[in-house]
């Protein structure tokens, strides 16, 4: 099961101490509690039945999960080798899986959680894994303004060291709380579409024009009518029975238009350009497709990337003075012509050598 299983803990050989403040910090939760109490929260299982939500989730989380992470010295920008746990947190699972699920928790719930598996001798984290949001419960102080601990599946987690919780705080209350009403509307529209797919004609009533029929006779008549409609679209009624139509057909309800409108609203809630959810029709070229990708980064991915980057830059992951950043070079990579023009300028002003350009473009011949 890997990412969804509780890990097996390994007790460190030497007593370790980590900065407890990295996991426990003052945090105002009143806005979150208000969102949950308002009745607008929608569970992830419900929300992901809506195609627009599933599409938004796939784009956001899979993109973040596949981005490499690099470590730099903050003072001079020099690149240093990252510990394994930065790009592959859990030695048993691909790093992209861990970060994809973690990104989903931050995006949907407003916070994601990890748990420490192993520590280095200096107390920094050597191995950790993502813990499903539903497993973790924060413990608050009496004024609900500070997190003082966590439980995992009802059991108190250590405040530091192996088994302690790593909290990745998001920058907002989460899609599940923010978009609850819109997603609820989308869920009901999907159910309505399913109902009309099963029963493509409006609801009908068979009304007797004669004497009252027995319950057994009514059931027989309805069953016979339903079976005949499945086998044959043509029907015949004698003078004893009338057919009455109730409700509206999908066209009258503007079901397709309503679903398209809700998809657009979901894109707005998710902070994702509507083009990515096919919620609006645009004429895309290569140039404005790159612009849309930058819009996706700035308005949808950036808050989650920042939440992960800054938490990984804490002292329990990297030494003081070092920071973790996602590498966006490939994601924002321009066309071959655009790159060539940039390289030509950089080479002319002495900012890049030919060898550096070849290395950037994987053009160096290693003799293989």
Q: Do residues 80 and 322 make contact, with C-beta atoms less than 8 angstroms apart? A: yes
26/151 Cα distance (integer angstroms): 17
Cα–Cα distance, 201 to 297 (Å, whole number): 45
Nearest Cα neighbor of 172 from 362, 343, 300, 325 is: 300
Q: Which residues contact 221 (CB under 8 A, 6 or more apart)?
A: 206, 213, 241
79-116 in b/e burial notation, b at 16+ Cβ within 10 A? eeebbebbbbbbeebebbbbbbbbbbbbbbbbbbbbbb
250 backbone dihedrals φ, ψ, rounded to 5°: -55, -35
The pLDDT assigned to 99 comes to 96
pLDDT at 50: 84
Q: What is the mean pLDDT of each run of 10 residues along the chain (368 residues)?
A: 44 44 49 47 84 89 92 87 92 94 94 94 93 92 87 93 92 84 76 60 64 74 70 61 57 58 81 72 53 77 93 92 87 66 79 77 59
Give every CB contact of residue 269 below 8 A, 6+ residues apart in sequence: 175, 178, 179, 182
pLDDT for the residue 325: 93
Alpha carbons 195 and 356: distance in angstroms, whole number: 61
Joined together, the tokens standing for residue 287 give: 């140039």
Burial group, residue 309, by CB count within 10 angstroms (0-12, 13-18, 19+): middle
Rg over alpha carbons for the chain, rounded to the nearest Å, is 28
Cβ atoms of residues 263 and 52 within 8 Å:
yes
DSSP 8-state symbol, 280: S
Residue keyed to tokens 């579409």 = 193
Name the pTM for this structure: 0.69
CB-facing half-sphere around the CA of 318: CA atoms within 13 A:
25
pLDDT of residue 180: 78
């Amino acid at each position: 099961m890997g990412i969804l299983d509780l890990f097996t803990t390994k007790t460190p050989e030497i007593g370790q101490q980590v900065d407890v403040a990295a996991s426990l910090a003052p945090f105002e939760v009143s806005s979150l509690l208000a969102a949950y109490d308002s009745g607008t929260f929608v569970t992830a299982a419900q929300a992901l039945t809506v195609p627009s939500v599933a599409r938004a989730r796939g784009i956001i989380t899979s993109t973040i999960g596949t981005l490499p992470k690099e470590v730099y010295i903050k003072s001079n920008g020099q690149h240093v080798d990252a510990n394994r746990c930065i790009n592959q947190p859990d030695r048993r699972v691909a790093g992209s899986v861990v970060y994809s699920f973690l990104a989903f928790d931050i995006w949907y719930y407003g916070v994601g959680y990890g748990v420490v598996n192993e520590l280095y001798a200096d107390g920094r984290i050597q191995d950790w894994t993502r813990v499903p949001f539903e497993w973790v419960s924060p413990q608050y102080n009496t004024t609900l303004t500070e997190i003082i601990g966590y439980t995992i599946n009802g059991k108190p987690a250590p405040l530091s060291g192996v088994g302690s919780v790593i909290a990745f705080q998001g920058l907002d209350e989460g899609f599940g709380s923010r978009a609850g009403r819109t997603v609820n509307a989308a869920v009901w529209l999907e159910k309505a579409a399913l109902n009309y797919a099963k029963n493509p004609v409006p609801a009908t009533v068979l009304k007797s024009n004669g004497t009252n029929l027995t319950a057994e006779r009514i059931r027989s008549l309805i069953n016979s009518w339903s079976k005949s409609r499945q086998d044959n679209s043509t029907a015949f009624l004698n003078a004893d029975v009338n057919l009455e139509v109730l409700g509206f057909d999908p066209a009258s309800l503007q079901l397709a238009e309503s679903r398209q409108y809700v998809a657009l609203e979901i894109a707005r809630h998710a902070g994702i350009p509507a083009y990515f959810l096919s919620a609006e029709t645009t004429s895309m070229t290569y140039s404005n497709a790159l612009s849309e990708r930058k819009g996706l980064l700035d308005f949808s991915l950036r808050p989650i990337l920042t939440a992960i980057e800054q938490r990984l830059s804490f002292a329990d992951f990297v030494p003081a003075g070092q920071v973790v950043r996602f590498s966006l070079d490939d994601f924002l990579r321009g066309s071959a012509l655009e790159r060539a023009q940039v390289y030509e300028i950089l080479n002319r002003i002495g900012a890049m050598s030919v060898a550096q350009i070849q290395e950037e473009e994987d053009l160096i011949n290693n003799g293989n």
